[in-house]
Structure formats: C-alpha cells, structure tokens
C-alpha cells in the first residue's frame, strides 16, 4: 500500500476512533493499532497514554492487544490489579484498572486491535463494548476500501508500464523488419536473442534500437486518465 493511501487511512481511522469514543459513557482512552512486521503500530489515539500502553506491550512482548492479535478474540479485564496474565505490562501501568480490546478483522485476517483503557475498575458497560464492536466493523470496511484502492492503482500502473514498453518494442520490431527484411516473428526472435545474449531486458534492447535510429530516446506512451463521471456532467 503506497504512502498517500496509508496516510489517508490513518486520518480516517483517527476520526473514526474519536467519534466512537465520544459516544461511549465511560470516557475511556482509546487506540487503534495495526499489526506489522515489527509488531503493533499505533495509528490512532484519543490520549497519549493509550499510545504509551500500546508501546509498552510491544516492548515487554506480551499484553492484551498481542493476545487479541494471536487469538482473534476480544479480551476484557475488569481489574488489572488482580490480573496475572501480563505481569510485565500490569506492573508498569498500575494506574490502569480496566481494559477492553477488540480484534479488527479484514478478509478473515486479524489486522489490528481496537483497545480501550480506563483508570476505573469494573470493566466497561455493555453499551460501550457494543460500540467498540460496531466501530471495529467500520474499521474493517475502511481497510478493505483502502486496500482495494491500492490494488487498483497498482494494476493501473502495471498496465501503463506494459503498454508503454509494448509501444517501444513495436517500434523496434518495425526497424528490425525494415533493416533485415524479415517478418515480425523473425524480428521478435532477433530481439529476444539479443536480449538473452546481452542479459538485458527485451524492452531495454528495443529502446536502444529506437534511440540508435532516431537519435533520441523512445518517447513514453501517453495515457489520459479517465474523467470522473461527475466532471462530465
């Protein structure tokens, strides 16, 4: 996924998190963290403390959010003071008493965690947990939309590249056919043989032939972006 899409997704996740937490009666700290090659990457928070809690789990190597990533199931703790599962995490954050972590799922894969933290023990109200589940579902939709956009851009870029190199190859084929007085099939076999013998990609061989004959690099193919339907009206 390219950087502009990542930045746009992070902004959308932050807005979604803020809206969701504001609607919760418990006024908790909230965070959204996505799974990456280096562990959790916090992309949205409502309070700096929530980000520090996410980072602490990554540092000590265990914690509720990491359990959610591993199991794909929510984790609820009503009083961390008596919780023994994550001693390194709870020892460092004694002021946090309650937490709730919901998995973010996209295309049957756990992509991250929507976590709530509170200084009050007793857990979170049922309405709050429902709000988290709904918000987590919305995050999955956002992620699928962003992923679809990234895939579409990638395919479009690959197609443009393929068409551009094809245009250069076609020009080179015409030159070889004229010079060697041969068929298009024989000209292509010639280009491929030169490519293999010189260990140079075929489209680069074609570009060098076009430049040698014309005296300038082969011009890139020009493609007009489709005009959005709203602009045509």
The per-residue pLDDT for range 140-152, each reduced to its tens digit, is 676 666 666 556 5
Give a yes or no: residue 226 inside a domain: no
- H helix intervals, 61-109: 64-71, 87-92
pLDDT at residue 155 is higher than 50: yes
Give me the residue label for tokens 């015409």. 174
Q: Are residues 64 and 136 in the same domain?
A: yes
pLDDT at residue 154 is higher than 70: no
Q: What is the phi/psi pair of residue 29, to 5°?
A: -85, 140
Query: What is the rounded distance in angstroms from the CA atom of residue 151 to the CA atom of residue 183?
Result: 39
Q: Are residues 13 and 37 in the same domain?
A: yes
Give strand ranges (E) for the chain. 29-36, 39-45, 75-77, 98-106, 109-118
pLDDT at residue 34 is higher than 70: yes
Q: Are residues 200 and 139 in the same domain?
A: no
Q: Are residues 96 and 175 in the same domain?
A: no
Q: What domain count does the chain have?
A: 2
CATH number at residue 207: 1.10.10.10
Q: For 110-119, what is each residue's pLDDT tens digit?
A: 888 999 988 8
Range ranked top by mean pLDDT from 29-33, 103-107, 162-166, 217-221: 29-33
Give a yes or no: residue 230 inside a domain: no
Instruction: With CA atoms as reference, report the closest residue to 113 among 154, 152, 72.
Output: 72
pLDDT score recorded for residue 75: 92
Give me 29's structure tokens: 């700290």
Q: Are residues 138 and 198 in the same domain?
A: no
Give a yes or no: residue 8 inside a domain: yes
Give me the mean pLDDT over the 51-76 stretch.
Answer: 88
Give me the mean pLDDT over the 28-54 stretch.
Answer: 83
Q: Are residues 187 and 135 in the same domain?
A: no
Give a yes or no: residue 194 inside a domain: yes
Q: Are residues 41 and 110 in the same domain?
A: yes
Q: Are residues 168 and 77 in the same domain?
A: no
Q: Are residues 206 and 106 in the same domain?
A: no
Q: Are residues 53 and 144 in the same domain?
A: yes
pLDDT score recorded for residue 100: 92
Q: Are 98 and 79 in contact (CB under 8 A)?
A: yes
Give a yes or no: residue 227 inside a domain: no
pLDDT score recorded for residue 86: 85
Q: Are residues 95 and 209 in the same domain?
A: no
By residue range, what is the domain housing residue 175?
157-219
Give me the residue label for tokens 């000209």. 187
| Residue 195: how many other CB atoms lie within 10 Å | 16
Give a yes or no: residue 232 inside a domain: no
Q: For 170-223, what is each residue's pLDDT tens digit?
A: 888 888 988 888 888 888 899 889 999 999 888 888 888 888 888 877 665 544
| Residue 38, helix vs strand vs coil | coil
The reply to whether the predicted model has a pTM over 0.75 is no
pLDDT at residue 233 is higher than 60: no
Give a yes or no: residue 229 inside a domain: no
Chain centre to alpha carbon of residue 120: 35
Give a yes or no: residue 17 inside a domain: yes
Please state, for a pLDDT cut of 70, what percent of the chain lies above it: 76
pLDDT score recorded for residue 224: 47
């Amino acid at each position: 996924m390219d950087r502009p899409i990542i930045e746009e997704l992070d902004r959308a996740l932050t807005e979604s998190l803020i809206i969701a937490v504001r609607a919760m009666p418990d006024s908790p700290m909230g965070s959204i963290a996505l799974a990456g090659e280096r562990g959790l990457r916090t992309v949205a928070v409502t309070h700096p403390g929530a980000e520090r809690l996410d980072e602490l789990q990554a540092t000590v190597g265990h914690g509720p959010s990491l359990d959610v990533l591993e199991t794909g199931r929510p984790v609820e703790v009503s009083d961390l003071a008596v919780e023994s599962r994550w001693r390194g995490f709870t020892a460092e954050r004694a002021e946090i008493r309650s937490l709730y972590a919901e998995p973010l799922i996209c295309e049957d894969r756990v992509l991250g965690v929507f976590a709530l933290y509170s200084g009050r023990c007793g857990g979170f109200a049922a309405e709050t947990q429902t709000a988290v589940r709904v918000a987590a579902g919305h995050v999955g939709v956002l992620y699928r939309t962003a992923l679809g956009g990234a895939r579409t851009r990638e395919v479009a870029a690959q197609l443009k590249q393929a068409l551009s190199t094809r245009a250069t190859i076609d020009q080179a084929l015409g030159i070889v056919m004229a010079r060697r007085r041969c068929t298009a099939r024989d000209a292509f076999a010639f280009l491929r043989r030169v490519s293999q013998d010189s260990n140079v990609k075929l489209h680069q061989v074609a570009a060098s032939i076009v430049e040698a004959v014309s005296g300038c690099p082969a011009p890139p193919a020009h493609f007009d972006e489709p005009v959005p339907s709203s602009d045509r009206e």
